[in-house]
Amino acid sequence: MPPQDAHGVLGGFLLGSTSGSLPDWPCQRLRAPVLGESDGTWWESWLAGGPCDSGLAGGLRWRRQGDLLFGLMEVDEVTQDTAPGVSPLEQAAEQAYRQLFDLLDRQGLPHLWRVWNYLPDIHGQEAGLERYRRFNLGRARGFESAARSVVGRVPAACALGVRAGPLSVAFLAGPTPAVPIENPRQVSAFHYPQAYGPRSPTFSRAALVHPPGQEWLFISGTASIVGHETVHPGDVAAQCHETVDNLEAVIAQANARRCSVPAFCLGGLGLRAYIRHASDLGIVREVLRERCPDAPLLCVQADVCREDLLVEIEAWGSLPC
Ligand code: 3EB
């Protein structure tokens, strides 16, 4: 059953299988198997805590409570009328981000805090380029057409391959800039060399954001990358340890910039792990049980955006401030 709240739900996610109908709030549906949960279905929602405004604009569904906005844009690639030399996915990504930024401007909430990107067949080829790289081309163009920077002040994000469905982009935005956080162990993704595609991915390693009286930390999808290179190819346990080292490095950077009195720590964050091979679930859980036994963990089967990455972990936490 979709979660309900007396004051309403701002938006959220449905992961795994469902036969029922979708709720009336914007719900990002991930066609990705939930691993190790008994009925294979997982709901997550952002509670609104008060009356919401909502709307539908050019296929983008949104809901707003106070100065917090959740939106969901799903773009069917097959209905794309593409310009010459632009692939359908690239066009879909550009369109999704254009509409997203249009909405932010209309709502007077210009700051994009966190984006969740999902697409089918992420490693497939489209017009001679891997689809994830096509997505990066379209995303970067969407940022630029809305006069947003593609380096530095960019949101926290994830981008994963799922089994089916449209290009799906969900987001949270607010009235204040996010404080972007980078990882000193890694080259910033927006500065990845051309070897990873003609346009770099547009995300920061984490973002600190400040709803009234609170400080939220969004850590982007984090993987076994040091510098710009994948380390420990083929070794899921070692990739998991390296990923946790990266998460800890990002948390340390975030803590140096935080305003809350208590510090963020890994055990106090909620984790979502994307696992390429469902058969690796046991190993991933074992490493995470050893490194951060207190952190709530949801595991999902999905394709991480480099073929040699076996696992990716994202995190979210909140403190009073
Ligand atoms: C990486 O560190 C792994 O394209 O939005 C992580 C988080 C990754 C976000 C994105 C990609 C994205 O490069 C992949």
Place of tokens 């449905």: 14
CA of 200 to the centre of ligand 1 (A): 10
Q: Whose CA is nearest to atom 6 of ligand 1?
A: 221
Query: What domains are defined for the chain?
Result: 6-320 (3.30.1330.40)
Distance 99 CA to ligand 1 centre (A): 22
**Which pLDDT score is estimated for 198?**
97
pTM for this model (two decimals)? 0.97
* Distance separating alpha carbons of residues 82 and 160, to the nearest angstrom: 23
Instruction: Identify the active-site residue in 90, 215, 242, 312.
Output: 312
Distance 221 CA to ligand 1 centre (A): 6
Series of mean pLDDT values for 10-residue runs along the chain (321 residues)? 81 88 93 90 92 94 97 89 86 97 98 98 97 98 98 98 96 98 98 98 98 97 98 98 98 97 97 98 98 97 98 98 91
Q: Is 312 a catalytic residue?
A: yes
What residues are paired with 225 via a beta bridge?
230
Are 119 and 135 in contact, with CB atoms under 8 Å apart? yes
Pairing mode, strands 270-275 and 179-181: unpaired
Q: What is the pLDDT of residue 264?
A: 98
d(CA 134, CA 152): 21
Among 121, 206, 199, 124, CA closest to 158: 206
